[in-house]
């Protein structure tokens, strides 16, 4: 007789709460830029992408990077929050809710690595700094900029609530603007926003406090932050632990400790293969293409993949706060998720395994599979800008039992 799959008994598949929102299980699709917002406007493809992830059994899906204002956009096909896109976002949140999942949106500002030709003005950052990623120099934010950006975070959060999102995720990691304030590498200010950790935290903390005032008590505010920036002179885990505590005190409902700096160590947050050839193939500018071919391997460092690569650092942050903490980074199997849950993490964020197969959670819950067959080739990262995020791995059918 054929052996039928056994429904998983893992505690990962029991409901859990973030703030006042209950998720049907402990799995969250992490923010993975979709590349489906031509003209800064969410497309039907974006709606279908998240409906599909929701139908695949996830507890909550996260709509990836949405800039809080036009000057916070990092690439041309990213959306930025404004009144006119609320009806489309409402259709997206309705579609996800119909599939039984919750839905979050990641709100951020990319600061010094904004592309001047896309945003039309000089990029802003904590301090004047050259950005190798863009060959551009940003200007240091003044008090007026700081006030405006803080208010834009509040306005964007309010619009997200109106559009039906169950939570907002503020991007304070990966070298985005709030993380640029935290990092000594990008913040060399001599005023109350620079120098000591307390000063570097002042702006990110004020943003979280402001968003909390806008959304009210109970509404879940998730903070994606860094355990470390991934290079000497950046934020360290010791400081990140204190940052986590400060974010909790400012009103965060949950922390997601990640790592890396998009403009400097872009693959540190993912680990695994760097798909240089996919980038070369899709690059239209012949000079950049040549540069990538010759120097790509030297510029973008490859860091070997490991299962649960942030577990130890994230645990230090978790042990220092009382709010829930989600573990992210290299979660590949039910065993991985059980280890994380048993260590006291309330939620598990998963990126690439859900890109590889949007049904991965449903299949794990039903016992059909026990692990993802994503091989961390990271070709989905190159695909996100070229064609919209998708698994383009050649090897299929490796699902382990």
Ligand X SMILES: Cc1cc2nc3c(=O)[nH]c(=O)nc-3n(C[C@H](O)[C@H](O)[C@H](O)COP(=O)(O)O)c2cc1C
- In the 8-state DSSP scheme, what is residue 333? B
194/318 with CB nearer ligand X: 318
384 near ligand X, rule: CB under 6 A? yes
CB of 266 to ligand X, least distance (A): 10
- In the 8-state DSSP scheme, what is residue 189? -
In whole angstroms, how large is the CA radius of gyration of the chain? 20
Residues 6 or more apart whose CB falls under 8 angstroms from that of 344 comprise: 315, 318, 319
194/388 with CB nearer ligand X: 388
- In the 8-state DSSP scheme, what is residue 243? H
31 near ligand X, rule: CB under 6 A? yes
For residue 265, what are its two tokens?
Answer: 């160590």
Q: State how far the Cα of 68 lies from the Cα of 119, in Å rounded to an integer.
A: 13
Q: Which residues pair with 22 in a beta bridge?
A: 17
CB of 165 to ligand X, least distance (A): 16
CB of 108 to ligand X, least distance (A): 8
Q: Which residue is nearest to ligand X (CB)?
A: 351
Are the CB atoms for 304 and 272 separated by under 8 Å? yes
Are the CB atoms for 7 and 328 separated by under 8 Å? no
53/384 with CB nearer ligand X: 384
List 64, 81, 138, 170, residue binding ligand X (CB under 6 A)? 64
Q: Which of 176, 193, 268, 279 is catalytic?
A: 176
194/262 with CB nearer ligand X: 262
CB of 238 to ligand X, least distance (A): 21
Interaction residues for ligand X, span 180-219 (CB under 6 A): none
Q: State how far the Cα of 131 lies from the Cα of 204, in Å rounded to an integer.
A: 21
32/53 with CB nearer ligand X: 32
Interaction residues for ligand X, span 270-309 (CB under 6 A): 270
Q: State how far the Cα of 300 lies from the Cα of 349, in Å rounded to an integer.
A: 25
What are the distances in angstroms from CA 375 to CA 371, 378, 395, 399?
A: 11, 8, 9, 11
List 111, 125, 329, 388, residue binding ligand X (CB under 6 A)? 329
Q: Which residues pair with 130 in a beta bridge?
A: 137
For residue 300, what are its two tokens?
Answer: 């973008």
For residue 228, what are its two tokens?
Answer: 């470390």
> Counting beta carbons within 10 angstroms of the beta carbon of residue 286, is it exposed (0 to 12), middle (13 to 18) or buried (19 or more)?
exposed
List 42, 220, 275, 330, residue binding ligand X (CB under 6 A)? 330
Dihedral (CA of 244, 245, 246, 247) sign: positive
85/353 with CB nearer ligand X: 353
CB of 156 to ligand X, least distance (A): 15
User: Per CB under 6 A, which region of 239-247, 280-288, 319-327, 380-388 contacts ligand X?
Assistant: 380-388
CB of 260 to ligand X, least distance (A): 8
Are the CB atoms for 375 and 397 separated by under 8 Å? no
CB of 357 to ligand X, least distance (A): 13
List 331, 334, 337, 364, residue binding ligand X (CB under 6 A)? 331
CB of 191 to ligand X, least distance (A): 28
Cite the DSSP H helix spans in 99-234.
116-119, 143-162, 177-182, 197-215
Interaction residues for ligand X, span 335-364 (CB under 6 A): 350-353
Place of tokens 């998983």: 8
176 is catalytic: yes
113 near ligand X, rule: CB under 6 A? no
List 381, 388, 391, 393, residue binding ligand X (CB under 6 A)? 381
Are the CB atoms for 60 and 29 separated by under 8 Å? yes
User: Per CB under 6 A, which region of 123-131, 189-197, 296-304, 322-330 contacts ligand X?
Assistant: 322-330
Contacts with ligand X by CB under 6 A lie at 30-33, 64-65, 106, 171, 174, 224, 258, 269-270, 328-331, 350-353, 380-381, 384, 389
Q: Show which residues are catalytic.
A: 176
């Amino acid at each position: 007789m054929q052996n039928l799959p056994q429904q998983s008994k893992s505690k990962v598949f029991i409901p859990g709460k973030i703030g006042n929102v209950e998720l049907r299980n402990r799995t969250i699709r992490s923010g993975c830029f979709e590349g489906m917002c031509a003209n800064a406007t969410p497309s039907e493809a974006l709606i279908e992408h998240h409906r599909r992830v929701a139908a695949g059994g996830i507890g909550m899906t996260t709509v990836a990077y949405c800039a809080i204002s036009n000057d916070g956009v990092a690439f041309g096909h990213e959306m930025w929050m404004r009144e006119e896109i609320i009806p489309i976002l409402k259709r997206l949140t309705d579609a996800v809710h119909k599939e039984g999942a919750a839905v979050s949106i990641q709100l951020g500002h990319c600061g010094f690595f904004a592309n001047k030709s896309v945003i039309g003005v000089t990029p802003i950052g904590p301090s004047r700094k050259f950005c190798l990623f863009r060959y551009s120099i940003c200007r240091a934010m003044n008090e007026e900029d700081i006030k405006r950006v803080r208010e834009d975070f509040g306005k964007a959060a309010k619009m997200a609530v109106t559009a039906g999102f169950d939570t907002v995720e503020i991007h304070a990691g990966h070298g985005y603007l709030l993380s640029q304030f935290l990092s000594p590498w990008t913040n060399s200010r001599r005023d109350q926003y620079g120098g000591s950790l307390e000063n570097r935290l002042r702006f990110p903390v004020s943003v979280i406090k402001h968003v909390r005032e806008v959304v009210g008590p109970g509404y879940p505010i998730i903070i994606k932050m860094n355990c470390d920036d991934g290079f000497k002179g950046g934020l360290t885990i010791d400081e990140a632990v204190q940052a986590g505590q400060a974010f909790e005190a400012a009103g965060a409902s949950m922390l997601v400790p990640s790592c890396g700096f998009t403009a400097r160590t872009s693959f540190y947050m993912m680990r695994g293969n760097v798909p240089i050839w996919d980038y070369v193939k899709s690059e239209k500018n012949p000079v950049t293409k040549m540069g990538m071919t010759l120097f790509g391997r030297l510029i973008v460092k490859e860091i070997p993949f490991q299962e649960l690569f942030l577990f130890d650092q994230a645990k230090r942050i978790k042990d220092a706060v009382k709010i829930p903490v989600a573990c992210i980074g290299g979660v590949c199997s039910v065993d991985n998720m059980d280890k994380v849950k048993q260590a006291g993490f309330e939620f598990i964020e998963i990126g690439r395994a859900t890109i590889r197969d949007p049904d991965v959670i449903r299949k794990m819950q039903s016992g059909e599979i026990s692990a993802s067959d994503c091989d961390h080739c990271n070709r989905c990262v190159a695909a996100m800008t070229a064609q919209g995020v998708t698994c383009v791995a050649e090897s299929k059918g490796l699902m382990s039992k």
